[in-house]
Amino acid sequence: MPAPIRVRLNEEEDRTLKELNGTDGVTQTFTHHTADINGVRLHYVMGGSGAPVVLLHGWPKTWYKWRKVMPTLAERHTVIVPDLPGLGDSSPSATSYEKQAIAQTIYQLVNQLGFPQIDLVGHDIGGMIAYAYAATHPKNVRKLVLTEFWLPGFGLEDGMDVARGGSWHFGFHMAPNIPEILTAGKEREYLTAMGAFKPESNLNAFSEADILEYLRTYTLPDKMRAGFEYYRPLLEDGRQNRELAQTKLTMPVLTLVGSEGVVGDRLRQGIDAVAENVQSDVIQSSGHWLAEEQPDVLAQKLITFFAP
C-alpha cells in the first residue's frame, strides 16, 4: 500500500480531527490524506483498524457529514471517507460526473490503498455512486448500504417529475450555468433554503461551526458548479443503470431511510429491481441527514449489518 500524502489542515479540520480522535492530536486515529486518481487530487480521511468500510457522502455535503459515525465504526473497521471529486477538498473530475465514472475513481482509490474487498455505504448522490460501484465491481464489495435517495432509472425519474409532485430542484440543478449564476454569493442562503442545515428531527444536528465547515468549500464557485454537475447526467445515469441491472447484485444490500424523510419506500422498490438480497430498515426520528440526525443509531445498524 503506497504511503498516502498528508495534507495541511485548516483550523476547523484540525479541531474536527482532535474531536474525532478524542486526543490532543498527538496520537491520531483519523488523518487527512490525498491521492492522485484518474486526474483527480482526491482528498480522504482515514482511520481505525479492521475490515475496510468506505463512506460516500451526498450533496451538499463533504466527508465531514460522517464525522459523528466514524469513531464508532473505527473501533472495528478501517474507515475510509473521501470527498467526492469536485467537492470538499478534492479537485474536479477530469472526465465526467456520471456516476459510473465517479465510482471508478473511488474504486481506484480503494485499489491503491490495497483493499481487495470492502463494505460500502452511500448516502444521497453518494448512494447512486455506491450502486454504480457495486454493479461494476461486485467482487470488491462484500456488503452494501444505500441510504436516502432514489435510484436513477428505477424511481428517480418519478421523483424528478414536478408535474406529478416531484421535487423542483432536480431540473433547476440540471440547467446549464443557471444555478451557478443565481446562487453565486448566496450559497449559505440557498443551501439553507434547500434544507442542508435544517434537520427534520434533531434540532441539535448542526452547530454553527458545522455549517461554516461546509460553507468553507461550497462558497467557492467551482464547488457549487461541481455539485450541480452531479445532477446534469442523471438521465444518462438512469440509462446506464438499466443496463447494469441486467445482472442483479448478489451481495447483501441494506436500504435505510429516515422516518421523517421524503424518500420512503421508493428506495427499497428501486433496489429490489437491481439486487437479489435486500433488507430494509427505517431510522426513527430522522429526516434525510441520517448520519447527523441519528448518528449513534446509524452506526449501530452499520456495525450489525457488517458483522461477519
Give the residue numbers marked as catalytic. Answer: 124, 231, 288
- What is the model's pTM? 0.93
* Rounded Cα gap, residues 74 and 2, in angstroms: 21
Encoded amino acid at 285, one letter? S
What is residue 165's predicted lDDT score, i.e. its pLDDT? 87
What is residue 16's predicted lDDT score, i.e. its pLDDT? 64
* Rounded Cα gap, residues 78 and 119, in angstroms: 10
86, 226 contact by CB (below 8 A): yes
What is residue 23's predicted lDDT score, i.e. its pLDDT? 45
Domain of residue 108, CATH code: 3.40.50.1820
Domain range for 88 is 5-306
Torsion-angle region of 61 (φ positive above 0: left; ψ -120 to 50: alpha; else: beta):
beta
Q: pLDDT 10s digit of each residue in the chain, 308 long? A: 433 333 444 555 556 666 666 544 434 689 999 999 989 999 999 999 999 999 999 999 999 999 999 999 999 999 999 999 999 999 999 889 999 999 999 999 999 999 999 999 999 999 999 999 999 999 999 999 999 999 999 999 999 999 988 999 999 999 999 999 999 999 999 999 999 998 877 778 899 999 999 999 999 989 999 999 999 999 999 999 999 999 999 999 999 999 998 899 999 999 999 999 999 999 999 999 999 999 999 999 999 999 98
* Rounded Cα gap, residues 76 and 68, in angstroms: 15
Q: Which residue has the cell 448512494?
A: 127
Q: Which letter, b or e, does each residue of 138-158 get, where b requires 16 or more Cβ atoms within 10 Å of its Cβ? A: eebbbbbbbbbbbbbbbbbbe
Please give the tally of structural domains in the chain: 1
What is residue 13's predicted lDDT score, i.e. its pLDDT? 56
